[in-house]
């Protein structure tokens, strides 16, 4: 589209700008191109009149829902350094929920209640171990190659933690820290068991360590000794099962549908500690892990441990895995500094995007398995295609009809290409036109996903594109811009832009899938909370020395106690149960001067522990509008000397 030349990138990238100019003029005609190009002040220029794609193919704007109309897809977006996961409705792009994981959240009291603090992890004094996070990739549990609605997982890059979200209640229920890992980046659940065909669902979560560090990380060591680990976490217990020591680093992670292979792309096979060193080699790699063999090695005791960690660590370095027939890992050579590896929904290929190379590499999984079986001599033989797509390819999505969609960061485009034709072209059929279409996006896209893309049920309806720069697409709100999650109709041959959705910074990855795959519960089960105050009559105060427990059950619009007394300096634990059974009837509980504010949803119990302050009267009030008499919903904490 013509908006492309309003992009401010040409100033920063004069070379690209010129190229873009030529592309665009070819596309929309010289006059429009010149007019738009003359306007360097992106944000003030009106969009040129000819914007045909926005209304082609998609018909009436499919992303605009009528009031009361529900979205057809759930979208799970990582929140980036807000440390949360957001739930969006697609195609509308409306944000419905934020699920706090690694960072405290004021709405629900995440990181304030005792229950959430326990999940997040505390120090000896009871305070949170960490209050920052950086979520990048969110993926869901599988069964039979499709999402089964049990769990979602998201990584925390800063502190190497993985959070699990229960999809019945849409809450984080467990967080695990990976030992000896820094910069935990890629994450992907497995889709089946490599040995037992009855296990056709997720039981493992694979986690890629991006930064190489001394192992164990104690004191400064020779940087040549730094290494990274690839980690397997148990999907149910969330315990770390094993780790694999590798050469190079881990970026993204992908898994095969048969459960036999997991892979991570590597941009730093050089194991460089400095910027330039990480780009010195012409080629990097995509490492394939043979899951069954790794687990056999662990069982056979062929591992070591690192530092104080008890986790078995197998050796998946190049040196130790030269013999294909016993290798735990295989390093497939791909062009310089790849970004992203994605599994095609037909189960046949992993695709590595080139980033510094304008190409995508198509790796054939059956050939990788042949290599491990000793049937393919050279691992390069697993490369089915290495084709040029455009500048800065980062991530790839699929429509289930044999087409791939790759983001081109530098070109600010999405390119649609046909995988079979790319393979034919690579094999020498130079007439094979593998590029099907290109569309401009706004601007600099990173992650991309199609509806159901990373499942066997890829339906080829919509494409969401995470644009890293929004620039002029929304009302200016000062220096901090939102991200622009664009929605594209991919139901036809040509892609059609449907909508811009502003999202609070700073999402990376996302998945979206048919809404009927989830069956959320709207009300909690009282019995799931061991400390539930099951009856209003059970409300009351008990004292054990300086420790005071205050139990309150609430039914709109009243708390079970009209007042309660404590003494200055008491350690007060307040347990609150919401006995209302009606959906959407949430109560809050706030205490002035005591840093207490949290909510309880219908039939939920939560607790907080705090120290009673100076003597006085403190009105504890409901913060969440619940009833016509919501303002009257109060109790009094009387602190005595
Ligand atoms: Cu998935 Cu943003 Cu962490 Cu690519 S990374 S853009
Ligand atoms: Cu209870 Cu507002
Ligand atoms: Ca490199």
**Which residue has the least CA distance to atom 1 on ligand 2?**
587
CA separation for the pair 409, 74 (Å, rounded): 26
Q: Ligand 2: distance of its center to the CA of 633 in Å? A: 6
Looking at the CA of 266, which ligand is closest?
3
13 has pLDDT over 90: no
Can you tell me which residue has the tokens 């068991």?
A: 193
164 pocket-lining for ligand 1 (C-beta < 6 Å): no
Predicted pLDDT of residue 60: 62
Predicted pLDDT of residue 39: 34
Preceding omega of 22 cis (within 30 degrees of 0): no
Give CA separation, 20 vs 37, 81, 311, 349, 484, in Å. 10, 32, 51, 31, 21
Q: Are 583 and 523 in contact (CB under 8 A)?
A: yes
Atom in ligand 2 nearest the alpha carbon of residue 630: 2
**Which residue has the least CA distance to atom 5 on ligand 1?**
508
CA separation for the pair 302, 326 (Å, rounded): 13
The pick from 447, 468, 507 for probing ligand 1's pocket by mutation, whose C-beta has the most ligand atoms within 8 angstroms, reads 447
pLDDT tier at 221, thresholds 50, 70, 90: confident
pLDDT per residue as tens digits for the range 268-279: 999 999 999 999
Lowest-confidence region among 38-42, 393-397, 427-431, 631-635 = 38-42
CA separation for the pair 247, 268 (Å, rounded): 9
Give CA separation, 488 vs 462, 498, 580, 591, in Å. 6, 5, 42, 47
Atom in ligand 1 nearest the alpha carbon of residue 252: 1
Predicted pLDDT of residue 223: 87
Q: How many CA atoms lie within 13 A of 481 on its CB side?
A: 17
What is the arithmetic mean of pLDDT over 289-304?
98
Atom in ligand 1 nearest the alpha carbon of residue 407: 6
Looking at the CA of 629, which ligand is closest?
2
394 pocket-lining for ligand 1 (C-beta < 6 Å): yes
Q: Ligand 2: distance of its center to the CA of 464 in Å? A: 38
Q: Ligand 2: distance of its center to the CA of 71 in Å? A: 29
551 pocket-lining for ligand 1 (C-beta < 6 Å): no
User: What are the tokens at 458?
Assistant: 């890829």
Atom in ligand 1 nearest the alpha carbon of residue 446: 6
Residues facing 45 on adjacent strands: none
34 has pLDDT over 50: no
The residues, any chain, with a CB within 8 Å of residue 283's CB and separated by 6 or more, are 269, 333, 334, 335, 336
185 pocket-lining for ligand 1 (C-beta < 6 Å): yes
Q: Are 132 and 443 in contact (CB under 8 A)?
A: no
Predicted pLDDT of residue 11: 41
CA separation for the pair 250, 157 (Å, rounded): 12
139 pocket-lining for ligand 1 (C-beta < 6 Å): no
What is the arithmetic mean of pLDDT over 275-286?
94
Q: Are 584 and 603 in contact (CB under 8 A)?
A: no
What is the arithmetic mean of pLDDT over 559-573?
98
User: What are the tokens at 336?
Assistant: 């310089």
Q: Are 575 and 553 in contact (CB under 8 A)?
A: no
pLDDT tier at 63, thresholds 50, 70, 90: confident
Q: Are 7 and 471 in contact (CB under 8 A)?
A: yes
Other beta carbons within 10 angstroms of residue 119's beta carbon come to 18
Predicted pLDDT of residue 83: 98
Q: Ligand 1: distance of its center to the CA of 164 in Å? A: 20
Helix (H, G, I), strand (E, B) or coil at 218: coil
Predicted pLDDT of residue 530: 97
What is the average pLDDT value for the chain, to the nearest integer? Answer: 91
CA separation for the pair 252, 202 (Å, rounded): 18
CA separation for the pair 133, 85 (Å, rounded): 11
Atom in ligand 2 nearest the alpha carbon of residue 622: 2
**Which residue has the least CA distance to atom 6 on ligand 1?**
446
Atom in ligand 1 nearest the alpha carbon of residue 409: 6
The better pLDDT of the pair 29, 601 is held by 601
137 pocket-lining for ligand 1 (C-beta < 6 Å): yes
The pick from 253, 508, 510 for probing ligand 1's pocket by mutation, whose C-beta has the most ligand atoms within 8 angstroms, reads 508
163 has pLDDT over 60: yes
Based on C-alpha coordinates, what's the Rg of the chain?
27
What is the arithmetic mean of pLDDT over 436-463?
98
Q: Ligand 1: distance of its center to the CA of 509 in Å? A: 7
CA separation for the pair 382, 138 (Å, rounded): 28
43 has pLDDT over 80: no
Q: Ligand 1: distance of its center to the CA of 457 in Å? A: 24
The residues, any chain, with a CB within 8 Å of residue 589's CB and separated by 6 or more, are 552, 574, 576, 596, 597, 598, 599, 600, 608, 620, 621, 622, 623
Looking at the CA of 333, which ligand is closest?
3
- The percent of residues above 70 in pLDDT, for the chain, comes to 91
Give CA separation, 504 vs 1, 130, 462, 466, in Å. 25, 22, 21, 12
Looking at the CA of 339, which ligand is closest?
1
250 pocket-lining for ligand 1 (C-beta < 6 Å): no
Predicted pLDDT of residue 32: 32
pLDDT tier at 420, thresholds 50, 70, 90: very high
Atom in ligand 2 nearest the alpha carbon of residue 586: 1
CA separation for the pair 378, 374 (Å, rounded): 10
Predicted pLDDT of residue 58: 44
CA separation for the pair 195, 186 (Å, rounded): 24
Termini Cα distance of the chain: 71
pLDDT per residue as tens digits for the range 193-217: 999 999 999 999 999 999 999 999 9
Other beta carbons within 10 angstroms of residue 542's beta carbon come to 10
Q: Are 114 and 608 in contact (CB under 8 A)?
A: yes
Residues with CB under 6 Å of ligand 2 are 556-557, 587, 622, 624-626, 630, 633
Give CA separation, 545 vs 222, 531, 540, 572, 615, in Å. 55, 20, 16, 11, 18
Atom in ligand 1 nearest the alpha carbon of residue 395: 4
Sign of CA dihedral 268, 270, 276, 281: negative
7 pocket-lining for ligand 1 (C-beta < 6 Å): no
Predicted pLDDT of residue 53: 34
**Which residue has the least CA distance to atom 3 on ligand 1?**
136
Q: Ligand 2: distance of its center to the CA of 634 in Å? A: 9
How buried is residue 108: exposed, middle or buried, by Cβ count under 10 Å (0-12/13-18/19+)? buried
Q: Ligand 2: distance of its center to the CA of 605 in Å? A: 15
**Which residue has the least CA distance to atom 2 on ligand 1?**
508
Q: Ligand 1: distance of its center to the CA of 413 in Å? A: 16
Find, among 573, 596, 585, 578, the residue nearest to 532 by Cα.
Answer: 578
Please tell me the chain's helix, strand, coil percentages from 3-state DSSP, rounded to the nearest 5. Answer: 15, 40, 45
CA separation for the pair 322, 74 (Å, rounded): 44
Atom in ligand 2 nearest the alpha carbon of residue 627: 2
Supply φ then ψ for residue 299, to 5 degrees: -60, -40
Q: Ligand 2: distance of its center to the CA of 625 in Å? A: 5
CA separation for the pair 510, 22 (Å, rounded): 33
Q: Ligand 2: distance of its center to the CA of 524 in Å? A: 17
CA separation for the pair 467, 501 (Å, rounded): 10
What single-letter DSSP state applies at residue 150? E
What is the arithmetic mean of pLDDT over 504-526?
97
Q: Ligand 1: distance of its center to the CA of 185 in Å? A: 8
355 pocket-lining for ligand 1 (C-beta < 6 Å): no
Predicted pLDDT of residue 222: 87
Helix (H) or strand (E) holding 120: helix 114-120
143 has pLDDT over 50: yes
pLDDT per residue as tens digits for the range 458-493: 999 999 999 999 999 999 999 999 999 999 999 999
Q: Ligand 1: distance of its center to the CA of 340 in Å? A: 8
Predicted pLDDT of residue 42: 34
Atom in ligand 2 nearest the alpha carbon of residue 624: 2
Give CA separation, 513 vs 90, 278, 453, 525, in Å. 9, 36, 8, 27
Q: How many CA atoms lie within 13 A of 167 on its CB side?
A: 22
Helix (H, G, I), strand (E, B) or coil at 558: strand
Domain annotation for the chain: domains and CATH numbers? 10-45+528-640 (2.60.40.420)
Give CA separation, 113 vs 17, 104, 120, 548, in Å. 52, 10, 11, 16
pLDDT per residue as tens digits for the range 230-242: 999 999 999 999 9
The residues, any chain, with a CB within 8 Å of residue 228's CB and separated by 6 or more, are 181, 208, 209, 210, 211, 212, 213, 246, 248, 249, 250
Can you tell me which residue has the tokens 């207490």?
A: 596
Can you tell me which residue has the tokens 């881990």?
A: 250
């Amino acid at each position: 589209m013509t908006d492309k030349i309003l992009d401010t990138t040409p100033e920063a990238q004069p070379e690209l700008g010129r190229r873009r100019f030529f592309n665009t003029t070819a596309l929309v005609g010289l006059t429009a191109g010149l007019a738009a190009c003359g306007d360097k002040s992106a944000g003030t220029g009106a969009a040129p009149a000819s914007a045909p794609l926005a209304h082609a193919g998609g018909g009436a704007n499919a992303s605009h829902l009528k009031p009361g109309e529900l979205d057809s897809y759930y979208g799970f977006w990582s929140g980036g350094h807000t440390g949360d996961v957001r739930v969006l409705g697609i195609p509308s792009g409306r944000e419905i929920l934020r699920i706090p994981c690694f960072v405290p959240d004021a709405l629900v009291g995440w990181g304030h209640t005792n229950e959430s603090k326990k999940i997040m992890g505390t120090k000896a004094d009871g305070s949170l171990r960490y209050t920052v996070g950086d979520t990048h990739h969110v993926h869901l549990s599988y069964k039979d190659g499709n999402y089964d609605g049990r769990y979602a997982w998201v990584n925390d890059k800063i502190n190497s933690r993985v959070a699990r979200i229960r999809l019945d209640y849409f809450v984080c229920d467990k967080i695990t820290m990976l030992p000896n890992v820094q910069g935990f980046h890629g994450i992907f659940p497995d889709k089946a068991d490599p040995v037992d065909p009855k296990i056709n669902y997720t039981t493992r979560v694979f986690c890629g360590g991006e930064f190489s560090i001394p192992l164990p990380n104690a004191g400064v060591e020779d940087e040549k000794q730094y290494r990274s680990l690839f980690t397997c976490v148990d999907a149910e217990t969330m315990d770390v099962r094993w780790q694999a020591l590798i050469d190079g680093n881990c970026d993204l992670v992908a898994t095969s549908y048969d459960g036999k292979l997991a892979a991570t792309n590597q941009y730093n096979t050089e194991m460089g500690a400095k910027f330039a060193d990480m780009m010195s080699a012409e080629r990097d790699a995509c490492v394939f892990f043979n899951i069954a063999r790794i687990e056999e090695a662990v069982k056979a005791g062929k591992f070591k441990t690192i530092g104080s960690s008890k986790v078995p660590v197998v050796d998946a370095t190049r040196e130790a895995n030269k013999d294909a027939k016993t290798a735990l890992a295989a390093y497939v050579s791909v062009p310089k500094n790849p970004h992203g590896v994605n599994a095609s929904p037909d189960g046949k290929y992993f695709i590595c995007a080139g980033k510094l190379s304008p190409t995508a590499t198509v790796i054939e999984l059956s050939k990788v398995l042949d290599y491990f079986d000793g049937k393919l001599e050279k691992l390069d033989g697993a490369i089915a295609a290495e084709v040029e797509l455009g500048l800065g390819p980062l991530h790839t999505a699929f429509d289930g009809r044999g087409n791939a969609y790759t983001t081109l960061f530098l070109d600010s485009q999405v390119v649609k290409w046909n995988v079979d034709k790319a393979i034919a072209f690579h094999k020498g059929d130079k007439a094979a036109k593998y590029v099907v279409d290109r569309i401009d996006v706004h601007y600099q896209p990173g992650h991309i996903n199609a509806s159901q893309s990373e499942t066997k049920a890829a339906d080829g309806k919509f494409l969401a594109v995470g644009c890293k720069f929004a620039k002029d697409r929304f009302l200016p709100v000062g220096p901090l811009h939102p991200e622009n999650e664009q929605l594209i109709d991919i139901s036809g041959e040509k892609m059609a832009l449907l909508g811009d959705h502003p999202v609070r910074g700073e999402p990376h990855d996302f998945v979206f899938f048919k809404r009927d795959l989830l069956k959320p519960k709207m009300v909690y089960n009282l019995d799931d909370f061991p400390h539930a105050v099951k009856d209003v009559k059970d409300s009351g105060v008990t004292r054990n020395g300086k420790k005071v427990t205050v139990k309150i059950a609430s039914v709109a619009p009243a708390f079970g106690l009209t007042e309660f007394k404590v003494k200055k300096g008491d350690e007060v634990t307040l347990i609150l149960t919401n006995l209302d059974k009606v959906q959407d009837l949430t109560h809050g509980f706030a205490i002035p001067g005591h840093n207490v504010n949290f909510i309880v949803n219908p039939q939920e119990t939560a607790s907080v522990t705090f120290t009673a302050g100076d003597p006085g009267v403190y009105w504890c009030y409901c913060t969440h509008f619940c009833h016509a008499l919501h303002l009257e919903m109060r109790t009094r904490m009387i602190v005595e000397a």
